[in-house]
A and B are shown apart, each in its own frame.
Chain A
Amino acid sequence: MAKNLPPVWNKIAKHAMMPETNHDERARYNFLASLNKHLAHVSQGNKMAYEKRVEPAFKAKNGRNIASVEELQEAISKDSHYQIWSSLRRSTMEMRQQAGRSIVLRQAEELRDKAEGFNKGKSTLVLDPNCKVPEYLLAVDNHLMPGSYHTELIEGDVTPAANYDSGIFVTTAGLLGRYNDGGGKAITSWVKKTYPDFAPKRILDIGCGMGHNVLPIARAFPNAEVIAIDTGAPMLRYAHARALDLGVTNVTFMQMDAAKTIFENESFDWVQSTMFFHETGGKSIYKIMNEVYRLLKPGGLTLHIEQPQYTNDMTLFEKFIRDWDALNNSEPYWSKMHDIEPIDLMQASGFRKEDFMQIGAKAENDLDDGTQKAEEPEDHGRSPIWNVFGAIKN
């Protein structure tokens, strides 16, 4: 039997907001998930090509080793394996966006109407037409998603979120679980296990997107008031409707910039973000962390799930290949963010060094039927293996 086949798309959980898909649309997602997985394996050839061809050729020509990521980039960009792998990978991501958008845009109005059915008159969805989309989000369409999180093609649009929800399965080859919430589940389990007496009354999730990672937290603390913020109205409309359909009623979704929220000082017991900071900007990241510090009660907990850190013992090649997605799958700030030590970021906002923590986390995947256990290369930028950093405010 072939090893580690991605699950078929139809395994993902259905809920009222999930776009309708026909046979061919599901098949297209299945093809793309498999193609992504295939390319993760072929990616090993890049390292081989680098070690066997690129590096020796550079050394022969220059009489020294490659000394920087920039030199490596320049040298490897002429290697034929790297070229074909890169162009296939880029093409796959573009096809994933095309496939998702072709599903959701044909039913944009139906999806909008469904969301409105859930959202109308509810106090738990608070949109703010004066909320400005931050410059860093306007500058790029993260992970090649045309129009990013905020663009509305019709009034009341929810298609950016519907595209994200239905298609993240392709990018991760199904490793985030049936509800794409493997990150939220992992952090919830860790918090419950590490702080069994922790009983947060008020929880804030920043950059919540379509709300997939905040729901496990809200479920785990049903008596807590949970607030999830994002600047993208389409994401919030979808997130709110999705949450209600899934029976989660203790989350209020609010349109707000995490760098300048309206909340009072020391008003939250837990401030969480999941895969958020690497899609912000060089100045905003500090402003947002300042805000996290301001909002936390003394003794409050903050945790941030992020891409793996770069470490000093990483080879140039590893740093380079980890940056591939940042630059070629359009998540550009990620290529800068790894130069910031999380501990420095947090200390700059007032957290104490001795209160800083950093742990590894792996998605909890309810789609895992035991057939995904074979040894696999890490799919850099895709594997749900993360760095979590945070602190308790004292």
Chain B
Amino acid sequence: MIDHIKLASSKSKGKRPYFHEDPAVERVLNITMAIAGELAVMRERMDTMERLLEKKGLVSQEEIDAYVPETKEEETQRQEWHSEYISRVLRIVQQEMEELENPDKSIADIANDIDKM
């Protein structure tokens, strides 16, 4: 048996070109685009589910499109989900801000500090 997961992501021959001054930008962009792709895949799957539900007469697309939360609790649950999701995705920005607010020592420095504690 071949390792199809690993092989699917193999590199092709030839040094890979990087277009940004910092290769880290390229790396992050590639990971982000892969996730963008998977989100599109998920969206297409949802679309299929909605259409199948409609065909089977369970839920219509209009019902889905027209749906709004009906109770305060439902509203809160939704907004909480968004808030948590955004915080999760933009974690690093928040952490950089916190660092800016409270400049931190490096862990190596802290190790030296602790060594004296």
Contacts and interface: CB of A to CB of B under 8 A. Distances in A.
Contacts of B33: 35, 88, 91-92, 95
Contact of A105 (B4, B18, B26, B30): B4
A31 B37 contact: yes
B30 A94 contact: yes
Contacts of A84: 19, 29
Contacts of A77: 19
Interface string A260-295: 000000000000000000000000000000000000
B88 to A, nearest CB: 23
Given A23-B48, A90-B17, A146 B11 contact: yes
Interface in B7-56: 7-14, 16-20, 25-26, 29-30, 33-34, 36-37, 40-41, 44-45, 48
B41 A27 contact: yes
Given A23-B48, A27-B44, A154-B2, A32 B7 contact: no
Interface stretch (A96-104, A175-183, A231-239, A350-358): A96-104
Interface string A6-41: 000000000000000001100110111001000000
B8 A91 contact: no
Contacts of B14: 140-141, 330, 332
A328 B41 contact: no
Interface residues of A, number: 41
B21 to A, nearest CB: 8
Contacts of A23: 44-45, 48
A139 interface: yes
A389 interface: no
24 contacts: A23-B48, A24-B41, A24-B44, A27-B45, A28-B40, A35-B37, A86-B19, A87-B20, A91-B30, A95-B33, A95-B34, A101-B7, A101-B9, A101-B10, A102-B5, A102-B9, A108-B4, A145-B12, A147-B10, A153-B7, A154-B2, A327-B17, A330-B12, A330-B14
A86 B45 CA distance: 30
Contacts of A140: 12-14
A330 B34 CA distance: 21
A385 interface: no
Interface of A: 23-24, 27-28, 30-32, 35, 77, 82-84, 86-88, 90-92, 94-95, 97-98, 101-102, 105-106, 108, 139-141, 144-148, 153-154, 327-328, 330, 332
Contacts of B5: 102
B15 to A, nearest CB: 10
A179 B11 CA distance: 28
Interface of B: 2, 4-5, 7-14, 16-20, 25-26, 29-30, 33-34, 36-37, 40-41, 44-45, 48
Contacts of B17: 86, 90, 327-328
Contacts of B34: 95
Nearest to B29: A87
A72 to B, nearest CB: 15
Contacts of A83: 19-20
A37 to B, nearest CB: 13
A103 to B, nearest CB: 8
Contacts of B36: 31
A83 to B, nearest CB: 4
Contacts of A88: 29, 33
Contact of B12 (A92, A105, A141): A141
Contacts of A87: 18-20, 25-26, 29-30
A146 B12 contact: yes
Contacts of B10: 101, 146-147
B37 A32 contact: yes
Contacts of B16: 90
Nearest to A142: B12
Contacts of A102: 4-5, 8-9
Give the top 3 A-B pairs by smallest Cβ distance, nearest first.
A141-B12, A105-B4, A27-B44
A144 B16 CA distance: 10
A105 B2 CA distance: 8
A98 B8 contact: yes
* Most A CB within 10 A of own CB, among B5, B13, B29, B44: B13
B43 to A, nearest CB: 8
Given A83-B20, A147-B10, A91 B29 contact: yes
Contacts of A27: 40-41, 44-45
Contacts of A328: 17
Nearest to A26: B44
Nearest to B43: A27
A86 B20 CA distance: 9
A148 B2 CA distance: 17
